[in-house]
A and B are shown apart, each in its own frame.
Chain A
Amino acid sequence: EDQVTQSPEALRLQEGESSSLNCSYTVSGLRGLFWYRQDPGKGPEFLFTLYSAGEEKEKERLKATLTKKESFLHITAPKPEDSATYLCAVQITGNQFYFGTGTSLTVIP
Chain B
Amino acid sequence: GAVVSQHPSWVICKSGTSVKIECRSLDFQATTMFWYRQFPKQSLMLMATSNEGSKATYEQGVEKDKFLINHASLTLSTLTVTSAHPEDSSFYICSATGLTDTQYFGPGTRLTVL
Contact = CB atoms under 8 A, between A and B. Distances in A.
A42 B43 contact: no
B77 interface: no
Contact of B101 (A31, A45, A87, A102): A31
Interface of B: 2, 4, 6, 32, 34, 42-44, 46, 49, 57, 91, 93, 95, 100-108, 110
22 contacts: A31-B101, A32-B101, A32-B102, A34-B103, A41-B91, A42-B107, A42-B108, A43-B4, A43-B106, A44-B95, A46-B2, A46-B102, A46-B103, A46-B104, A89-B103, A91-B101, A94-B101, A95-B57, A99-B44, A100-B43, A101-B43, A102-B43
Contact of B110 (A41, A44, A87): A41
A37 B10 CA distance: 21
Interface of B is mostly: strand
A43 B9 CA distance: 11
A46 B43 contact: no
Contacts, number: 52
Contacts of A36: 105
B57 to A, nearest CB: 8
Interface of A: 31-32, 34, 36, 41-46, 49, 87, 89, 91, 94-95, 97, 99-102
B45 to A, nearest CB: 9
Contacts of B93: 43-44
A45 B43 contact: no
A59 B49 CA distance: 30
A13 to B, nearest CB: 19
B32 A95 contact: yes
A46 B105 contact: yes
A28 B102 CA distance: 19
Nearest to A4: B43
Contacts of B101: 31-32, 49, 91, 94
A87 B106 CA distance: 15
Contact of B49 (A46, A87, A91, A95): A95
B43 A43 contact: no
